[in-house]
Structure formats: C-alpha cells, structure tokens
Chain A
Amino acid sequence: MSSAIVIAVNIALATFLAVGLTPVFVWWERRVSGFIQDRTGPNRCSIGPFRLGGLIQSFADMLKLVFKEDFTPSHIKYKFFFTIAPVIVFFCSFLTFATIPFADNLVIDGQSFIMSAIPNELGIMWFLAFAGLSIYGIILGGYSSNSKYGLLGSIRAAAQVISYEAAMALAIISMLLSYGSIHLTDIANAQAGTFLGIIPMWGIFIQPIASIIFIICAFAETNRAPFDIAEGESEIVAGYHTEYSAMRFGLFQVGEYAAMSASAAIIVTLVFGGYQIPWMDTPTVQNNMDYIMMALIIILPLKAFFLTRWMKKNNKSKDTNDTSRETETKILSTLFWGISLVVVGLLVIFLTLGLGENGVNIVTAVLQIGTFLVKFFLMAFVFIWIRWTVLRFRYDQLQMLGWKVLLPLALLNIIVTATFIVVQGS
C-alpha cells in the first residue's frame, strides 16, 4: 500500500515538474523578461478577479493552441515524420526527468524507495540518452518540413549537438570520478556534508571547471539562448518549427520547457547538491527534526507576511473605481495565510505528539523535496535570466567554443581529477 502511494507521488511530481510547469515557465519567461527590460509583460488576462500576476495568460494561450486548426502544408512529403517529430521532442524531454531523485531514499517499515519517477539504476546515463535523443526530434522536424529554413535549423541543431554532447559527457565523467557512482541518489548523497568546515560539498565547489562546462553544455542541450541558433529567428525565421502550427508547435514549445526543467533538475542534482539541505545531510535532518520543525513554524508565517505585504503593495489598479485587484489580493492573502497556518498547525501537532520513525522519514523526504524544488526553481530562473541577458552566439563562434575550448578543458579536467584521485588513493 505505502509503496503504491510513494510511486504515485513520485510519478505525479515528475509529470508536474516536467510538463505541468510549462505554463508557469512561459509566464515567468514573459514577466521576467518584461521586468528586466522595464516593462510589464502580460498582466491583463483574468478569470473573475483572478489575474495571478498574468499567469492566466499562459493558460489562455495554451487553450488557443489546442483549438487552432492543425494545419499541414501541402509540400510536406513525409507526413509521418512531420507528425512524429514534435512528439519525439516532447516525449524525450519528458522522460529525461524520470530518474531525477527528489529526495533521499525513503525508508517506510524497513522498505526503501528510490524517490524518482522511474526507479532504475541508470541515473545519469538515462539523462544523457534521452537528452541526446530529443535532438533527433528537432532534426527530423526540420528535415521533414521540406523548407530551407527548417533544414538550416535542423543542420544547425545537429552541428550544435555534436559539438556539445562530447564536452558534456567528458565533464560528467570527471564528476563521476569524484562522486564514484552513476546513480543520481548516490551522487546527491556524495554532495552532503562540508569540506574546510563551512563550504558545502557541492559539485560547483569540488569540481568547478567540470561544473561550468556542464552548465554551459546543458544550456546548449536545451536549445535556449545564448545557444538557440537552431531557431535563430533573426536569420532563419523560426528554424526547425517554421512549418508547424497549432498544437504541434505547442508540443515543440512544451518540449522546450520540459527540456529546460530537466536540465535545471539535472544541474541541481549534479552541481548544486540535489535535494541536500545545505550543511545538513539526511541523518542530521532526521536527528534534529524537532529543531527544524520549530524553525519552520517561525519561518512560514514570516514568509506569508512578506508575500502578502508585497502583493498588497504591487497588486493595484490605476483605475480608482476598479476593486477587482483588492478582491484578488484579499482572497489570495487569506489563501496564503490559511496554507501557512495549516502547515504550522500540523507541525505543532507533530511536535507535541512526536513523530514515529516512519513519520520522521516522511517529513525528511518532504523537506528534501522542498529544498529540491527551491533549487530547481532558482535554476529555472537562471535559465530565463541568462536568456534575457546574453546575446545569441554566431554559428561558427558556437562551434569554436565547443570544440576548441570546452572539449580540451574537459579532457584536461579528467586528467587532473584522475591523477588527484589516484594519488590520494580513494
């Protein structure tokens, strides 16, 4: 019974993070870019008094894409490939998320569960396989579009992926050397604890060069700026999805954001300590559960207070007769306060009654999932932030960077790491 619940929770979480967050990320993309450029971004769309800061716009856009005519241009010869291409992109990006662990192995009644959607031992290999495969969808889409822009886009995607996949795999190898496992839960556990007293044992601190190479390559893998030359709208219209419309285009879009989610999750897992709460490994969390719960009881209402105060200040209409903003603020404030007070109440009950062994394990898992989510969203924000900061690389510069800089650096890093490990003898 408990195993079924844990597996269902994991699958639901992976599905939600990989696919369900697409509207949220589209919303972030548009609002964050707006704020970065001193404009508002979409903020008008509403259901009743609810605007949710413009989030409704993403759902409206999605509905529009679903109900648009699914149009196939008459010059397309291979209709099957044309149809299957966005599905490949979507499916592979989605599956990439399957092995990401959301928390340390959860022990319930002596039975241990791997906290990922597809609990297998492949770990990072699974990620490499499916992240590489999703490019095939892009190549196939551009090729079967039967237009020069689509073909140019897919050629660029192919050139880009062979110049970055190598450096990425090599960077991962040097990381695996220092973590000693390909299994992502082991990798995250290897990043628990600290060295030199205060610095967390995260990948970025113990393998800085490999981490930077991996992050750069992960950006290239997702086909996002500054590596979005496969789209390159200033040069080749829209690249591989020029001929696509309606929900087929929507699937490319969802696939892109799913790839972004997956990359953010894998970067967090490999480089930023995964689900590890900084300075606290799993046994520490389990032994000090009472103090952590007390800290949460103080922190949660503070968060709700700052969030509602920010909302009250910024969720205003310029029209003095319009009270819908105030209504929304009131309803959402009540909601946030309600959620935080319910959680605080639960924590107080746990504190007074005491948790069993299973309870401590489950609360630890929930805390670690929370930590993972915070890191994951921060990384997704970095993806968006970079996109609106850095310019697109030129085609030749991009390959130059991949072949002449990242690849030798990654190889050098492997040699240094291997030598270090052999000399140290561990």
Chain B
Amino acid sequence: MGIKVVPRHGKSFKDKLYLPAIIGGMKTTLSHFTKNLKDVDKLKTMQYPEVQPKDLNERYRGVHRLTKWEDETEKCVACYMCATACPADCIFIEAEERFDEHDEKRPKEFKIDLLECVFCGYCVEACPCDAIRMDTGIFSFTAGTREEFVLDKKALMANERSKDLNDG
C-alpha cells in the first residue's frame, strides 16, 4: 500500500475565475431544460393517477387480504397469532365455532385498522395457516372517515392477489 496523492483542484487561474465552471454548469442544465421542453415525455416524473407504477414485486407489502379455500371460505382458524404478533395492535378478531370439513374454529369477525397498521408484515410471518397475506399490491387507500379505514372480514376476503404479480 503506497501513498496515494490526490491532486488538488482550484489552484489554477481558470479555476479561480469561477466563470468557466459556472458556464459549464449552465450548459448542462440548459441541455436538460431544452431536451425536456422539446418532448415532455422525456421527463422522469410519473403522471401518477393516469400512470400506475409497474414495479410492484413479491416483497411489496400492500393492504392485507384473507386467503380462501376453493369453496370460498376463509382459511383463517382464529388462532390469534397475528393479533399477538402485531406491534401496532391493529388486528381485532372475534372467534366462533366452525362446523364444516376444514376446521373447528373460524373468525366471526376479523378487523384490521389501517390507520394503526404499520405494514410491517409480522402478521403474515406469524400466521400458521397462510391465511393472511399482503400481496394485494394496493398502496393507496383513501377514505372519508376514520371508521372506513377499519377493514372487516368481508372487505379483507374481497381483496385479491395483485394482477401485476406472477402466479405463485
């Protein structure tokens, strides 16, 4: 390992004049300006409501959904693992007895308060039955009142896997 001498800039007369460097910078900014003025499509900005992002991937955590068996009933067995793991305490489950062939327990009501939720994904990690997932790809969730932000079981089961993700 020898000593590396880094050349110092700014001592020459041209550097001390400042103006050549400033004009160089102005050339760069003007080239960007004219390029974008000639053709607005070259701008990097995504015109959001009209153009939706296409780079959602498997790891993206969107709004939750409850997965279903083939007969459209919930996989959830109301074990409270997700509610226990939740650091934001935003999952509220009410259990009841289940009488079909899948299991003996089901959630009567399953609520997630999206205003409390921190989208950490711990509920998905904790679930032993793969009953809750965050692969809907829904990233913008708006409502007029606080109550509308609390998703109930019906809404969570209506959410589907995002179309942008490949089937897996």
What is A's interface to B at a CB cutoff of 8 Å? 32, 34-40, 212, 310, 313-314, 316-319, 322, 385-386, 388-390
Cβ contact within 8 Å between A314 and B32: no
Cβ contact within 8 Å between A314 and B50: no
Cβ contact within 8 Å between B36 and A390: no
- Nearest chain-B residue to A401 (Cβ)? B18
Cβ contact within 8 Å between B29 and A318: no
Contacts of A314 in B (CB 8 A): 39-40
Cβ contact within 8 Å between B50 and A35: no
Our pick among B22, B33, B40 for the contact of A36 (Cβ within 8 Å) is: B33
**Interface presence of B26 (CB below 8 A):** yes
Cβ contact within 8 Å between A386 and B26: yes
Q: With A212-B19, A314-B40 in contact, is A36–B29 under 8 Å at CB?
A: yes
Cβ contacts A to B, 6 pairs, < 8 Å: A34-B45, A35-B33, A316-B40, A317-B47, A319-B49, A385-B26
B38: shortest Cβ distance to chain A, in Å? 8
What is the bound-complex CA distance between A34 and B33, given in angstroms?
A: 8
Contacts of A388 in B (CB 8 A): 29
**Interface presence of B25 (CB below 8 A):** yes
**Interface presence of B37 (CB below 8 A):** yes
Q: Please classify the interface of chain A as helix (H, G, I), strand (E, B), loop, or mixed, using the class held by over half of its residues.
A: loop
Known pairs A318-B51, A319-B49 / 4 extra A-B pairs, C-beta < 8 Å: A38-B32, A38-B42, A40-B45, A385-B29
Contacts of A318 in B (CB 8 A): 47, 50-51
What is the bound-complex CA distance between A218 and B119, given in angstroms?
A: 52
Cβ contact within 8 Å between A35 and B45: no
Cβ contact within 8 Å between B39 and A35: no
- Interface size of B in residues (CB-CB distance below 8 Å): 22
What is the bound-complex CA distance between A313 and B38, given in angstroms?
A: 9
What is the bound-complex CA distance between A295 and B143, given in angstroms?
A: 60
Q: 10 closest pairs, A vs B, by CB?
A: A318-B50, A319-B50, A35-B36, A314-B40, A40-B45, A39-B45, A36-B29, A389-B29, A38-B44, A318-B47
- Nearest chain-A residue to B22 (Cβ)? A390
- Nearest chain-B residue to A315 (Cβ)? B40
Q: With A38-B43, A212-B19, A314-B40 in contact, is A390–B32 under 8 Å at CB?
A: no
- Nearest chain-B residue to A386 (Cβ)? B26
Our pick among B19, B32, B33, B43 for the contact of A40 (Cβ within 8 Å) is: B43
What is the bound-complex CA distance between A34 and B29, given in angstroms?
A: 11
Contacts of B37 in A (CB 8 A): 35
Query: A34, A36, A313, A385: which has the most chain B beta carbons within 10 Å?
Result: A36
Q: Which of B22-77 contact A (CB under 8 A)?
A: 22, 25-26, 28-30, 32-33, 36-40, 42-45, 47, 49-51
Our pick among B36, B39, B51 for the contact of A38 (Cβ within 8 Å) is: B36
What is the bound-complex CA distance between A317 and B25, given in angstroms?
A: 32
What is the bound-complex CA distance between A157 and B25, given in angstroms?
A: 26
Cβ contact within 8 Å between B32 and A35: yes
Contacts of B49 in A (CB 8 A): 319
Cβ contact within 8 Å between A317 and B50: yes
Our pick among A36, A39, A310, A386 for the contact of B44 (Cβ within 8 Å) is: A39
What is the bound-complex CA distance between A40 and B39, given in angstroms?
A: 12
Contacts of A39 in B (CB 8 A): 43-45
B29: shortest Cβ distance to chain A, in Å? 5
B66: shortest Cβ distance to chain A, in Å? 33
Cβ contact within 8 Å between B22 and A35: no
What is the bound-complex CA distance between A39 and B47, given in angstroms?
A: 10
Cβ contact within 8 Å between A389 and B22: yes
B53: shortest Cβ distance to chain A, in Å? 13
- Nearest chain-B residue to A320 (Cβ)? B50
- Nearest chain-B residue to A388 (Cβ)? B29
Cβ contact within 8 Å between A313 and B39: yes
What is the bound-complex CA distance between A40 and B46, given in angstroms?
A: 9
Contacts of A32 in B (CB 8 A): 33
Contacts of B33 in A (CB 8 A): 32, 35-36, 385
Our pick among B25, B38, B45 for the contact of A390 (Cβ within 8 Å) is: B25
B139: shortest Cβ distance to chain A, in Å? 18
B45: shortest Cβ distance to chain A, in Å? 4
What is the bound-complex CA distance between A390 and B20, given in angstroms?
A: 12
What is the bound-complex CA distance between A389 and B37, given in angstroms?
A: 17
Query: B19, B26, B51: which has the most chain A beta carbons within 10 Å?
Result: B26
Cβ contact within 8 Å between A389 and B44: no
Contacts of B28 in A (CB 8 A): 389
Contacts of A319 in B (CB 8 A): 49-50
A363: shortest Cβ distance to chain B, in Å? 32
Q: With A313-B39, A389-B25 in contact, is A36–B32 under 8 Å at CB?
A: yes
Contacts of A385 in B (CB 8 A): 26, 29-30, 33
Contacts of B25 in A (CB 8 A): 389-390
Contacts of A322 in B (CB 8 A): 50
B57: shortest Cβ distance to chain A, in Å? 23
Contacts of A38 in B (CB 8 A): 32, 36, 42-45
What is the bound-complex CA distance between A388 and B40, given in angstroms?
A: 19
Contacts of B43 in A (CB 8 A): 34-35, 38-40
What is the bound-complex CA distance between A411 and B21, given in angstroms?
A: 25
